[in-house]
Structure formats: C-alpha cells, structure tokens
Amino acid sequence: MRQKNNYSSIILSNNFSIQQFIEIFSGIDEQILQLHQCSSDDFLGLNTDFKRYYKLSKLISNNASKIFNELTKNESSELLKEIEKFYREIKHIQSEFSNLLDASIEQLSQILGLLDKLYFPVKNLNQDLLTLKILLANLKIFSSANPASAKSLEKVVQKFNDVINDFKTCSFQNESDLGQLKEQVKDTLLRFEAIRNSSVKDLDLILNYLHMGIILFAEKHEEVSRLIPKLTKQTENSSKSIADIITNLQYHDIIRQKMEHVHATHKKLLAELDETAQLEDKDNLDSNDILLLKIRDIANLQSAQLVYANKEYQRAIEIITGKFKEIGNDMTIVSSMCHEIYISQDSTSEFHMQDFITKLKSSASVLNRFLSATNDYTARIDQLYAQVGRVGKGLTTFSASIVNLKNITSTTYADFLEIDLGDKKLHELLKRIQYLYEDVEGFEVQIKDVFTRVEGIASQFLLGNSQSLAQRKSVEVFSNSGDSMSSIITHLNNKNTKISTLLSKSIGISKSVLKDINASIGKVKYYDFFEKVIVDIINEFNHIHRLLKAEVNFDNEEGFEDIRKLYTMASEHKVHDTITKESSKVSGVELFDDDIDIDDDNLELF
C-alpha cells in the first residue's frame, strides 16, 4: 500500500485557491481508493477462508451425522441381533455341554467305583490258580503210587495243569486290561473335571463380553437419542452463523458502491473546479461563490457518509470474525459430542467399541479351546468305549476258560476217586481242589457281574452322551460358533474403523480450524489501516468544513440534489438528510460520534 500524502498540512488562505482544493480532494480521493482496496483485500481473504471453513463445517457435520447414524438403533440393529443371537447360542452350548460333562463325570465315577471292587476278586482268583498248581503237584505224587494207573493219572494231571496255565494267562491278561481301563477312566475323569473347571467356565468370559457389548449398544442408542437434539442445535447454530457471514460478506459490494458515490461526487466537484479555473481564468474563489458553499457542504456530507460506512464496515467485520469463531466452536462442540458418544459414560472404567473388539478377539482362543475340548470329550469317550470292548472280549475268553477248568476239575476228581488208593489225604486233596475251583468260579462270577454293570454304563450312558454331543455339533449353531464370532468381530471392526476414522478427521479439523480462524482474523488489515487513513480523511474534511463555514454563512439545499441522485441505498439518504438538516448547527463530523448511527443493527442489502 502506498504511503498517502498528508494533504491536511496544506493551509488554505483566505483567497481560497482552486488549485489547493483540487490537490486536497484529489489526495482524499486517492486515500479513499486505498481504503476501498484495503476493504476489498480483507473481504476477499475472509471470503476465501469462509469457503474453506464452510466446507470443513459441513464435513464435520456430515461426519457427525455418519457417526451418530452408525450407532442408531436402526443402523446397528442387525449387528446387535447377531450379538444377542450369538450370546444365546453360547449360553445354550455351555449349558448343554456342561450337563453332558456332569453326567459323564458321575458315570465315570461310578465305573471307577465298580472297577475298584474288582481288585480283590481278581487278585484272589489269581492266588487260587497258583494254589491249584501247587495242589496238582501234590496230586501228581499220589498218582505215581499206583503204577498200573500212573500214566493215565499223570495225563489227567498234566491236562489239568495246562488248563490252569491257559486260564492263568487269560486271567493275567484280564487283570492287565482292567488295569488299563481303570487308568483310562481315571485319566478321562480328571480331564473332564479340568474341562468343566476351565473350558466350560471360560465361556463365561465370552458371555460377559457379549453382555457388555449388548449393554454398550443399548447405552449408545440412548446417548444418540439424547445427543441428537444437541447436534441439531449445533448444526442450526452453524447454519445461522454461515447465513450471517454470507450476509455480511455482501457488505463489500455496499462499501464499494458508497466509495464509488463519494468518488463520483469528488470527480464532479473536481471537474467544476477545473472548469471554473479554465473558463473564468482564475485560481481564487470569493466568499460569495456558490462553489465554496458546495465544497463546504460536500466536505461535511462526505465525512458523515464515510463515518457511517466505516461503522457499517466495522460491524460487518466484527460479525464475520465473531461468526468465524462461533463456527469454530461449533465444530469443536460437535467433535466433542462425537467423542463423547464413542467412549463410555462409565466414569469408573472406559469401555468403548475398540475395547469390545479387543476383548472378543482375545476370547476367540477361549472359544477355540472349548471347541477343542468338545472334540477331546468325544475322542476320549470313544477310546474308553473301545477299551471296555477289549476287556469284554477278554472276559468272554475268560468265561470259556472257566468252563474248561470246571470240566477238567470234574474229570480229575472222578478219575482219582475211581482208583481208590485208600489214602485219606488224597481225598482231602481232591476236596481242596474242588473247593478252590468253586472259589475261582465264584470270583469269576463276581468279576463278570461287576463288568457287566460297567459295560451297561459305558454303552448306555457314556456312548449316549458322545452320540448326543456329536448330534449337537452337527447342528449349525454349534459348528458355526467360531464363524459367528469372526463375523461379529469383522462387522464391529468395520463399524469401529469407520467411526474412529471419521472422529479422528473431525477432531483434527476442529483443532486446526480454531488456530486457522485466529490467523484469518489476524490477517484483517482494515483496523490498522483505517486508524491511519480515515482519521486523516475526516480531519481534512472537517478542516475544510470549519474553515468555509466561517467564511460562507448561507445555505444552499438545492445544491445537494445532484449528490442525492447518486445514492442507491436508504442509509445514504438517511445520512444525507440528517447532515443537511443539521449543517447549519454542526462544525464537523466526529469519527466516533454515536449520533451518526441512524440505522438499526441489520446489514443493509440492495
């Protein structure tokens, strides 16, 4: 901006030089054009910044609407239904499997108790078999006492011994199989108890997280309903601020026209001064010259018009900058509302969607362990049932051996009685063999009876539980539980990413906009420039008016009509009328005189 000349330093002499007036008004004209350029630059900068802030304000408002929409009941209802359905499914699966486990643990405990009952019968049976072998050795001694039948009796004893050996082998195998079955039952029982205490109870973790998620969405629905009126109010505030800014930005055209009117008046006056100087070939005006009167009144009138334009301009700038700040504050408030709805309202622990997602992801391993435990359950039941089958086959062989033992015992007893050796001890020995066989047969019956009960539990209950679980696992609810969790996590991730991205952008914009708005306001040059320029212009006008008023003391209202014709705005006419009515009373216009503010607070439009 060029440095203005200080035309007020020109001292008007009493001969009123035309050239001096031309220089003063030309200088004032130049200063007015500089004022107009300054205002144009300010408004152009504010208009450019406004367009950017308007876009950012709309962006934040749209982002807020999208964030709120993501959390409304309608938008999140499908996801919420999916979470609630998954909660019910997990609850059902947990209950069903827990019941199966409890029943299986009880049944395994029963089997273990039955197997414990077999300990003494099995041990006693094996002990009786060893005793039988010893008795057979003694019987062999007796058979050698009768040479005639020694060979036949020895064969009977040998056959008896072979049967005992076979039976003993079978018995030892049964003992081994029963021992393995018992260990397997113990191991399975411990494993099932561990599953019940860990994997099944761990599902409570998932259920708790899902329950928290359901509550989270319910809270968000309530918060959205609560905050939507506030969001609407902030949006309306921003819209009003935007409308006010648009209205006041139009003042640039108004001040341009007013400056043009002032400039046109000066141009016409300068032309008259120049014409007077040329036609009348003089450089001085006398006190009765009508041109002096016009100069006097124009100076006073233009001074008033500029003061009023200055006040309008100041008001417009103040409104624009104030509304800029309001828009910035509205952006911050809207972003804060979005942040408020994104996080939890619980003051003790912040729980929002990201927490929900993180917890669900971490609990996916819990679900996998549970599903793995159900597979382990089925596998162990199947293995246990297979082992029961092997023991059952062994006992079938064992029963066949008992029949052989019974037959050989009867044969041996009969053969030795047929050859009466007359030995009382032989009779006692045979009776003991007979007694031991009956004892063995009794133990075999006990073992078989107990194991039949074991088989009944294994086939009827354990196998039934396994088949029931297999049936449940074939249903989509069970087999797709992992997919259901993945689907929920994916949908939550998508929603959370969308919200957090929008929120991050809005918060970033609102923070930067407040700084940018202050920078925009700081770029306005009007105040500094007007302080330096308009005071001088008004002083120059007042200087001319006071000087000429002392010399020219008559009025000429008709001379104002040419100026009035230039006006296009009501405010110009009001100022004009006010000044012309009071022209005889006032000696100049004060720049900061409140009396000149004859209009209301509404910005004048065309």
Q: Domain segments of the chain: what residues? A: 16-71+233-349+502-569, 81-232+357-475
User: In terms of C-beta density within 10 A (0-12 exposed, 13-18 middle, 19 or more buried), how is residue 581 classed?
Assistant: exposed
Note the Cα 264 to chain centre separation in Å.
64
> Is a pLDDT exceeding 70 seen at residue 530?
no
> Is a pLDDT exceeding 70 seen at residue 186?
yes
> Is a pLDDT exceeding 90 seen at residue 71?
no
pLDDT of residue 592: 45
pLDDT of residue 145: 67
350-383 confidence digits (pLDDT tens)? 447 778 888 888 888 888 888 888 888 888 888 8
Higher pLDDT, 471 or 446: 446
Contact yes or no for 206/363 (Cβ under 8 A): yes
pLDDT of residue 579: 61
DSSP-derived letter for residue 348 is S
Tell me the average pLDDT across 36-45: 82
> Integer distance in angstroms from the first to the last C-alpha of the chain?
30
> Is a pLDDT exceeding 90 seen at residue 183?
yes
Tell me the average pLDDT across 331-338: 81
Residue 149, SS3 per DSSP = coil
The pLDDT > 70 percentage for the chain reads 77
pLDDT of residue 185: 92
Q: What tokens appear for 497 in the block?
A: 């990413």
483-503 confidence digits (pLDDT tens)? 788 888 888 888 878 877 887
Contact yes or no for 19/554 (Cβ under 8 A): no
Band of pLDDT at residue 247, cut at 50, 70 and 90: confident
pLDDT of residue 109: 92
CA triplet 402, 408, 413: central angle to 5 degrees?
125
Mean pLDDT of the chain: 76
| 585, containing H or E segment | none
> Is a pLDDT exceeding 80 seen at residue 116?
yes
The pLDDT > 90 percentage for the chain reads 3
Q: Which of 187-201, 213-227, 366-380 has the lowest mean pLDDT?
A: 213-227
> Is a pLDDT exceeding 70 seen at residue 427?
yes
What DSSP string describes 167-227?
A: HHHHHHHHHHHHHHHHHHHHHHHHHHHHHIIIIIHHHHHHHHHHHHHHHHHHHHHHHHHHH
